[in-house]
Amino acid sequence: MSVDGWNTVLVLGGIRSGKSEFAESLVTDAPVVRYVATAPEGDPEDTEWATRLAAHRARRPGSWTTEETTEDPRRLADVLASAEPNETLLVDDLGGWVTVLLDPDYQPADDVATIAELAEAIRTCSARVVLVSPEVGLSLVPTTPLGRAFTDALGAANRAVADACDAVVLVVAGQPVWLKPAASATAPAAPASATAPAAPASASVPATLGSTAVPVTTDSTAVPAAADSATAPAIPGSLADAEPTPEVQLPDVLTHKPPVVPNQEPGNPWAAPTMALPMVATGLVIQPGMELPMPDEYAGPQAVDRLATLDVPGAGLGVLDRVVGFAAATQGTVTPQAWGSVRVLLLHGDHAGGASAGTVAGESARRAAQARAGRGALARLAAESGASLQVVDTPAAAPMEDQPALSLDQVESALRYGWRLAEQAADAGVQLLVLGACGAGTEAAAAAVLAATAGAEPPAVLGRVITGSGEIDDAAWMVRCAAVRDALHRTRRSSRGAKDILAELGGGDVAVASGVLLGATARRVPVLLDGPVGLAAGMVSRDLAGQARHWCLLADHGGHPAVRLAADVLGLTPLLDLRMDLGEGANALVALPLLRSVLALAAALPVHPSLGGDDDPDADAPDHLDETLDESDFAEPEPAGPGPASTGADEQPASGWRAG
């Protein structure tokens, strides 16, 4: 494990040093936290000790669970050994654990062996662990035998645990000083509000532990760890045991026509990066139960209520008021702006076997090459909308009826790859992502994902197969249904976890799309979905982070049964019912100008005069319209002197109207 990354950390400190508050700040963003209490209750008449314990309990969030190990000091090692990979354990503290260890009720006991068992349990623990312990090495040697026994045992425990942990920090007067790894720099104070410490310029310190942790580099010229396409490693299994593998370079961003200038003001908070990548030393961690940001729950309803006050002659925007509510929630303002910088992600990845029945070999590759060259419906619509285009090649999927579509390692890499695509877009100032796909067999793969996640019947969510000549191919449709049926039968006893579904049924395009949705959610970038792949990714990402679906917008269902069902499950109501089928992504781009117009209109219209708005009809008129017209403005212009001969009696004058 590198010096900047850790799964286990020991927090040392003296009495009232702030060590517990600092340790709690390290796990504040972790999705699943188990608090392991080691201190005994003590004398019932000791009210001061009871008050301290109560203060510790009051600081714990309600979502944390608590487990006590005061009955048996060896139980702490058992708790660490049985912890799940998605958990984060906060052990507070080892001083209480040593007190129980030295209690006469547990003697005679082999203290050295028990401490060694604890250190080994920390080394092999699959969960993330933060341990708190008093630092007794700076105090005077106690004058009593019991005091000396306690300091000796606690000192031995601290040394063994520090050796087993990936990182060690000493908190002095609220100031954390990182002792291990040696390359880590000193961080400033941890505030009493239990927030993660900030780092000085050019310093690298371990940041928040859990699903949103990242080694933070605050030098403005440094590149985040996740953006380094050559060094970010893969995570096949255990975080500590993963072997680094090089990541694939992100594809080029194509702009066939210069994009419009983003209509955001400098410092506009809704376009700023708001969340760090979940990282440890072995790379990006994507796991179930991730806690990602939610849109503003107040701005959306307030923006919709504001529409009723605008000065419009009719009843308003109708169902398109949902666009304003969505944009307001994702931008965090009641007057959202139209999306200026838009990027289209076209995912290209084929599915082998019966899933691609009825498709022409090489057709999807032709479509992808067409988009790269700026031709075809998608590229032309992107150019018309001023949107940049990024064609993304995803791993090809094996026949799902016979074997897993992808390996678990490929799924991990595809999820991280999609997240990095969203990160790249956010760093470039993109305000809206449009997700599309052009692979062979994508409809069948999406149907299989829906069947596994929502219990859908494959024939009910598989659309008709249309050949290149416009004919309906029922034989190919039946082959696709059979492929999905056989794949579901093959995996009937397999886990229905999100990553397992992607590996068995989803394939590379759905996995990358899921990573895009998660990464966009982490960076507060809304996504316009279009087609089965995007909706299937929404179903999968929902099981990894439930917040992802709230950052998605569906313009049109296109008449596709899989899109209809997934939208219903995800709570996404299509804004339009145009039933277009121009290919995934292109349908959304057709609707994009309308959605932009709605947002621009809602932001620019004044409040109705009856509700206190400006009633001056000339208030918004351009300056050149304020001039008073006189007869000279309507007169025939006089000849300017000798010039070329007239081209005929019907020639129009240069200005004004022709005389009657």
Whole-angstrom Cα distance, residue 85 to residue 125? 8
**Between helices 442-454 and 532-544, what is the axis angle to 10°?**
40
Residues sharing a CB contact under 8 Å with residue 322, sequence separation 6 or more, in sequence order: 304, 573, 575
Q: Per residue in 88-120, is it b (16+ CB within 10 Å) or e — as a string?
A: bbbbbbbbbbbbbbbeeeeeeeebeebbbbbbe
The type of residue at 618 is D
Measure Cα distances from 307 to 316, 322, 594, 612 in Å.
7, 11, 17, 14
Neighbouring CB atoms inside 10 A of 127's CB total 21
Which residue bears the tokens 């590759």?
365
List the one residue out of 517, 351, 528, 338 whose CA is nearest residue 444: 351
Check whether the bond before 73 is cis (ω within 30° of 0). no
Measure Cα distances from 118 to 44, 93, 114, 128, 374 in Å.
29, 13, 6, 15, 61
Check whether the bond before 181 is cis (ω within 30° of 0). yes
Tokens of 640: 């300017």
Neighbouring CB atoms inside 10 A of 363's CB total 15
Neighbouring CB atoms inside 10 A of 275's CB total 17
The conformation of residue 624, written as its DSSP 8-state character, comes to G
Catalytic residues: 584
Measure Cα distances from 456 to 401, 451, 503, 515, 539 in Å.
17, 4, 19, 23, 12
List the one residue out of 498, 497, 537 whose CA is nearest residue 517: 537
Whole-angstrom Cα distance, residue 35 to residue 67? 6
Neighbouring CB atoms inside 10 A of 542's CB total 21
The conformation of residue 623, written as its DSSP 8-state character, comes to G
The type of residue at 485 is R
In the three-class reduction of DSSP (H, G, I as helix; E, B as strand; rest coil), residue 432 is classed as strand
Tokens of 517: 């949705």
Whole-angstrom Cα distance, residue 529 to residue 587? 10
